[in-house]
Structure 1
């Protein structure tokens, strides 16, 4: 198998961008079936911001001295270049569609020992959630001025960005929040956590999926942030409801 850096697929991001833009135009024109176009805008927009999230990890890692991200081909918006496309975007995409929970994926393999200082590891981990938050701010601001199905779709996507940012900074192994803290944690603690680290994100998702009020708490925090930055939460609620076009 060819190394990641030489794999094809340079068409992937432009294709996602073009499909999302076409669906956005259909939403703006209120063309039928409009709820399907809302779905496409939200899913396409999610894939675009997911690419930006992973690119941010790689770019900050390179800035800190880890040249391996360039060798692995991570300095691209092409989702096929990442180490684990299934866990990075396929599974989160399915879960977003059926459950509405923006579960973060893990894609960029970083070699921390190449970084010049341990705080660069924290910056690398923080880069992803910060990107989600910035995307949420921009989308909230844009959507607030659009009173049509495109505004609903962009508002829904903005809310999902804030929720993903909050979820990603949880100080739990498997999330970027733990990566921010990890360079400063005792080695003994990290060794004890090692056997269960792969399972903890699944536990978090199971709680969000099955415990009453857990996902509502997360979305309420996201809604508070969205309102803080001028977004219209009512618009986002309409967008998320119409996003699940099969239930409308």
Structure 2
């Protein structure tokens, strides 16, 4: 996605990269901060309660994000046994990451209502930042480990699904990688052109944008997706 964006608009492509840097940084910092406030100082002692991107960006994940359109940040270490709040504590830590991206999206959408942000460089910046954080928000809510959605949903599943939960916790990363690779090949084979993962993300993005529009907070449509 990012390499193709350079062909159409180098400025927008650069702002997309900056948007992902911002989104990953606030996402991981929110995990670390919430865990620290709920009693687990593991991430705090490792310097992860910070908005310094260097502490949260994974070198390989960052390179793949630009080259392949799929990447990751440094996982925040969390010791669930130290977190207060019973089952809700770890869930709050998991949800803090996507919630931070949603907060950035809302700020971008609110700024877009100001005339100065509706044209030129500032419009491109706001559009890129809004899009990347919306994408990070919905992507991380997919309930496949190691994504946050699994940590939010799985604690509330019935015991009858313990086998499924155990399987997903062990093999979820491979399932996720398989969906990414499957999408890469299907998107180039007629009549598909749309990967399952892209379809899921697109479906989740639409109600998010609709909800913001109903609240009177328009989000500038991104030039690419």
After TM superposition, is the score higher than 0.5? yes
Give the match for residue 205 of structure 1.
180
Please provide the CA RMSD for this pair.
2.8
Unaligned ranges ≥5, structure 2: 1-7, 187-192, 213-217
Counterparts of 1:33-48 in structure 2, within 5 Å, are 35-48=9-22
Structure 2 length-normalised TM: 0.74
* 1:57-86, Cα deviation, whole Å (9 max, x unpaired): 01111121112122222111234435x823
Contact 2:29/2:49 (8 A) holds in 1:
yes
- How many residues matched? 198
The alignment partner of 2:133 has SS state of helix
The change in CA–CA distance for 1:40 and 1:183 in structure 2 (over 3 A counts) is same
Give the match for residue 115 of structure 1.
83
Give the match for residue 75 of structure 1.
49
Unaligned ranges ≥5, structure 1: 1-33, 242-248
Give the match for residue 159 of structure 1.
131
Give the match for residue 154 of structure 2.
182
The alignment partner of 1:65 has SS state of coil
* 1:184-212, Cα deviation, whole Å (9 max, x unpaired): 45454443334413312212322443343
